[in-house]
Amino acid sequence: MDEQLNQTINEVLRGNDEAFADIVTQFQNGVYHVCYRMLRNAEESEDVAQETFIRAYTKLDTFDQKRKFSTWIYRIATNLCIDYLRKKKPDYSLDATVPGTEGLDMYSQLASSDDGPDDELVTLETNDTVLDAIDQLSETYRSVIILRYLKELPLKEISEILDIPLGTVKTRVHRGREQLRKQLNDLNKGELL
């Protein structure tokens, strides 16, 4: 698979622009999901995902083919999302609600269960609560939590994507998890009062 991908990359580098469409096809879902998990907005995620592929195309000559392409392109996507959030920060409200249809689109990817409608509603509300709590994490912790638990990437790959030492990734995952746990505990206490 990597050998075929490297051949496609070499085709693009030799001037075959149409070969880049194969790369986009192979990675578009993964890149979009990384963007969506960080931005929680479909239109913004599509824009940043598109920008990711534009950036990857223009910088393809800098890609080291001894490394994993997915790590490289996810790093571009993550960095663009972080940049986007920084620029948008003054307009961004942590209390903003996600329109109902967008929230449902994300959950439609989950495997169906034999639970009844009430159980499914509780599950959706719980997932939404956890995603909202992740949104409230600082950018530092949000990116590692998303890459680790929602994208299920290994710590070493997260280290490469974010270009930070492995020890820093481990620390951020631990601290991010603790902040998330505290936020969820605070929410549960608030609901009980």
- Domain-located, residue 135: no
- Domain-located, residue 169: no
pLDDT digit string, tens, across residues 52-111: 999 999 999 999 988 899 999 999 999 999 888 878 754 434 444 444 444 443 344 344
- Domain-located, residue 101: no
Domain count, the chain: 1
CA distances from 185 to 19, 87, 93, 129, 180 (A): 50, 31, 22, 11, 9
- Check whether 125 has a pLDDT greater than 80: no
CA distances from 117 to 110, 112, 122, 125 (A): 15, 11, 9, 12
> What residues make up the domain containing 84?
1-94
CB 180 within 8 A of CB 133: yes
- Domain-located, residue 36: yes
CB 147 within 8 A of CB 158: yes
CA distance 48 to 54: 10
Q: What's the pTM?
A: 0.58
Q: What is the CATH number of the domain that holds 46?
A: 1.10.1740.10
CA distance 39 to 72: 19
CB 12 within 8 A of CB 19: yes
Question: Mean per-residue pLDDT for 172-185?
Answer: 88
